Amino acid sequence: MLTAKQHELIRFIQQRLEETGISPSFEEMKEALDLKSKSGVHRLISALEERGFLRRLPNRARALEVVRQPEDVTPSRASGNVVPMPAPRTAPPEPANDVIELPLHGRIAAGAPIEALEGQSTLPVPAALLGPGEHYALEVSGDSMIEAGIFDGDFALVRRTDTARDGEIVVALVRGEEATLKYLRKESGMVRLDPANGAYEPQIYRPDEVQVQGKLAGLLRRYH
């Protein structure tokens, strides 16, 4: 069963696609559903995507497709009753792009650990670069991950999580003070943070000294 808000969102997206051929922006969806922030819209879309009702079209941001309707019904906002949802009249044209404003939490080391600064800035990111879940951005400082294609000045797009599999690139908080971007390895009861640059040595810590704060989900690079 879908929630009332999930029903409302599918209905609103489908109606906008039928009327204009363009999926609504996150701001329009926020206002239509009377939500307080775009992050609430992002969570709804991620949940519907995971359950197979929506699909993000690749390489574009404002690009949502209604894959299927929830048994062609949707809750009425006024009464909570279920009312019929008309079938789409024609296949809508390909939607355009949308952008999500991610929290930008300062800089993170791809070298020796440096402080990851909390800040009030945001970074506009194409939604197509992000999968489900909550995300934030960090500016990369250093060259220890260049062999993984991560360069100084890149923006790391991070999915917030406190767990990761062996071999994944993570944001690791070391000893509660410094954050670094590295491959996570577990070895002989210790945690090893591996660089992707032969000029750097792995960093080895006790498990209680390392806290995973997210997994790398993508990169954004600006050219000046």
Active site residues: 144, 182
C-alpha atoms less than 13 angstroms from C-alpha of 37 in its C-beta half-sphere: 8
DSSP H or E run through 26: helix 26-32
Is residue 39 packed enough to be buried (19+ CB in 10 Å), middle (13-18) or exposed (0-12)?
A: middle
Q: How far apart are CA 24 and CA 40, in angstroms?
A: 15
Q: What's the one-letter identity of residue 97?
A: N
Give the Cα-Cα-Cα angle 7, 8, 10 (nearest 5 degrees). Answer: 65
CB 13 within 8 A of CB 65: no
- The two tokens of residue 99 are 């952008």
The first and second tokens of residue 193, run together, are: 């943070």
